[in-house]
């Protein structure tokens, strides 16, 4: 297999982000629905309630997602994301100025200069189709392997990226069939989460969410969504083989 003149390879894994060039070159699926996000980092800044993830719902500033403030190892991380619609690009500085003004009565950071800025897009439409071709497959953001609800994808990318490496090694050492056929069947379907994303996109209501978040069931559900333990690298797993590559054998011809 050759790709973009970079030389031959026996198998190609595309893990090159939301605007995947590998997918484009191989004619695979591409994400069409995105969140655009920006985050400021304030090194050395502190928060009164540093043990909490502070979430802000605002249909105008963060349509389709939330704004957030949380304490990190070195300071504070403050940001927001919203649905990317049409050609209207997110303007990070304008978006953050409006957000910082909005939350100032609760957490006032307007007098501080950020020590770091991150911005980018996040696919939120589910796994792309097709996600694989003979001797090639996509993982992570390139595959759209991101929760349509929370936009979380690190755990899923680590889990399936690690397993993909093992599956490809098995194939190259002739212990399994081409994983572009069987392995990608293990990818998450996100059926319920895609439905929730659809509802959130079309029926987001600040008033309704403010009321729901004051109820114990909703707060418990939010806690599970944002803080439950996934255990990707737990020392004990039912499928321990996913944590290590097969022992090296004679190189296949």
Determine contact, residues 99/80, Cβ cutoff 8 Å: yes
Q: Which residues contact 12 (CB under 8 A, 6 or more apart)?
A: 1, 3, 22, 26, 135, 136
How many domains does the structure of the chain reveal? 2
Assess if residue 184 is contained within a domain: yes
Q: Does residue 51 share a domain with residue 28? A: no
Tokens of 142: 């390139």
8 A C-beta contact, residue 80 and residue 62: yes
Does residue 52 sit in the same domain as residue 172? no
pLDDT by 10-residue block (mean), the chain, 253 residues: 68 94 94 94 93 89 92 95 76 93 95 95 93 96 91 89 96 96 93 81 78 79 65 46 43 43
- What is the number of residues in the chain? 253
Residue 87 shares a structural domain with residue 115: yes
Q: Is residue 231 part of a domain?
A: no
Q: Evaluate whether residue 186 is within a structural domain.
A: yes
CATH number of the domain to which 61 belongs: 3.30.9.10
Residue 4: what pLDDT? 56
Residue 94 bridge partners (DSSP): none
| Alpha-carbon dihedral sign for residues 35, 127, 204, 224 | negative
CA distance 141 to 18: 5
Domain annotation covers residue 153? yes
Q: Examine the domain organization and report whether 137 and 201 are in the same domain.
A: yes
Count the alpha carbons within 13 Å of 222 in the hemisphere toward its beta carbon: 16
Does the reported pTM lie above 0.75? Answer: yes
The rounded distance, in Å, linking the Cα atoms of 92 and 80 is: 9
One domain, residues 109 and 52: yes
Quickly count: other Cβ atoms within 10 Å of residue 61's Cβ.
19
* pLDDT for the residue numbered 1: 55
- Domain containing 48 equals 36-123
Residue 234 within a domain: no
């Amino acid at each position: 297999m050759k790709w973009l003149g970079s030389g031959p390879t026996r198998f190609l894994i595309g893990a090159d982000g939301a605007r995947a060039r590998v997918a484009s070159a191989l004619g695979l699926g591409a994400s069409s629905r995105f969140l655009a996000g920006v985050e400021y980092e304030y090194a050395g800044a502190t928060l009164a309630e540093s043990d909490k993830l502070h979430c802000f719902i605002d249909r105008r500033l963060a349509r389709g997602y939330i704004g957030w403030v949380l304490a990190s190892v070195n300071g504070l991380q403050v940001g927001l994301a919203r649905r990317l619609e049409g050609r209207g690009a997110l303007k990070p500085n304008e978006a953050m100025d409006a957000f910082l003004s909005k939350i100032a009565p609760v957490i006032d950071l307007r007098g501080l200069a950020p020590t770091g800025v991150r911005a980018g897009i996040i696919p939120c439409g589910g796994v792309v189709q097709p996600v694989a071709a003979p001797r090639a497959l996509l993982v992570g953001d390139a595959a759209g392997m991101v929760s349509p609800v929370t936009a979380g994808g690190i755990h899923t990318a680590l889990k399936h990226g690690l397993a993909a490496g093992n599956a490809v090694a098995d194939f190259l050492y002739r212990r399994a069939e081409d994983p572009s056929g069987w392995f990608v069947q293990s990818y998450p379907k996100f059926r319920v989460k895609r439905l929730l994303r659809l509802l959130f996109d079309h029926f987001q209501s600040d008033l309704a969410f403010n009321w729901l978040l004051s109820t114990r069931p909703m707060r418990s559900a939010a806690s599970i969504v944002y803080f439950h333990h996934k255990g990707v690298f737990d020392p004990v797993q039912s499928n321990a083989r996913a944590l290590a590559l097969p022992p090296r054998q004679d190189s296949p011809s």
